[in-house]
Structure 1
Amino acid sequence: MAAFVKAINAKIRAHPVLNYVCSTHFWGPVSNFGIPVAAVMDTQKSPELISGPMTFALCVYSATFMRYALAVTPKNYLLFLCHFVNEGAQLTQGYRYLQWTQWGGREKAALAGAVTDFKEKAAQVEDKGKEMVGKK
């Protein structure tokens, strides 16, 4: 059995594409791609859910590993791509966080909510007025 496994391993390692697919240079970034996928999906959620410190930490993390992906031999372009996508998503989230907390986004949302409430109440008053006019 050991000879059979050794023969299969030799066959896999002899083929460059199979050798790459069976390596940590491939499976590490593939398994890591969950982080940028989640980050990109989070850009559609409310900015009040964003954690500023965590976003900053993930920006530093991705920048560090983008550098690492190009520093190792051989260069791991798949890992670089994974962290490049994550860096872009985290920078987007960081901008949304700053816009929400520092640049008046929260106040604008509250004002928009108040205007919507006012419009709804005005429509209710208008409907009641029409009912009263219709009853006479």
Structure 2
Amino acid sequence: MAAAFIKAANAKIRSNPWTDYFCSTHFWGPASNFTIPLAAIADTQKSPDLISGKMTCALIVYAFTFMRFSLAVRPPNGLLFGCHTVNATAQSVQGYRFLDWHYWGGKERKLLSEGEEVAKGTRVQAGPAGGEKK
């Protein structure tokens, strides 16, 4: 009885192209995979000293590899291609931030600007003569 119900439900789902796509891995694979680029986009608001250069490089290669794969499968998976395009872009931004922070003077610029802010924001107060404590 249950097998007949499942078979009938599957036939009903597969008869409509929209529900057939919505219930397939061509939809749910990319939909669940979108968490990777969303995390990378969210990480652009964090400090660049937290970025792993090796992982970012691996994720860029992964994104470009699966962009190619998404077009090689039949039928081509546009949602997967879009997911990995967003991922490649977000990871490339993270890669640029990593290189800027560690190799192109970003860390030094930040320290310099923080030092200037401290110098501008503090007032030198005159204390008792001779450094005596009250």
Structure 1 segments, 4+ long, off by >2 Å, are: none
Tell me the TM-score normalized by structure 1: 0.88
Shift of 1:50: 0.8
Q: For each residue in 1:51-89, what CA deviation from the matched residue of structure 2 results, as whole angstroms up to 9, or x when unmatched?
A: 111100000000000000000001011010100000000
**1:4-15 → structure 2 map (5 Å cutoff):** 4-15=5-16
Which residue of structure 1 aligns with residue 116 of structure 2? 115
Match of 2:74, SS?
A: coil
Give the RMSD, CA atoms, in angstroms: 1.0
Match of 2:104, SS?
A: coil
Q: For each residue in 1:74-111, what CA deviation from the matched residue of structure 2 results, as whole angstroms up to 9, or x when unmatched?
A: 10110101000000000001111111111111111111
Match of 2:46, SS?
A: coil
Q: Which runs of 5+ in 2 are unaligned?
A: 127-134
**1:1-136 → structure 2 map (5 Å cutoff):** 1-121=2-122, 123=123, 125=124, 128=125
Shift of 1:117: 1.9
Shift of 1:115: 1.2
Shift of 1:9: 0.7
Equivalent pairs counted in the alignment come to 125
Q: Distance in 1 between matches of 2:111 and 2:15?
A: 63
Which residue of structure 2 aligns with residue 134 of structure 1? none
Match of 1:38, SS?
A: helix
Give the letter aligned to residue 27 of structure 2: F
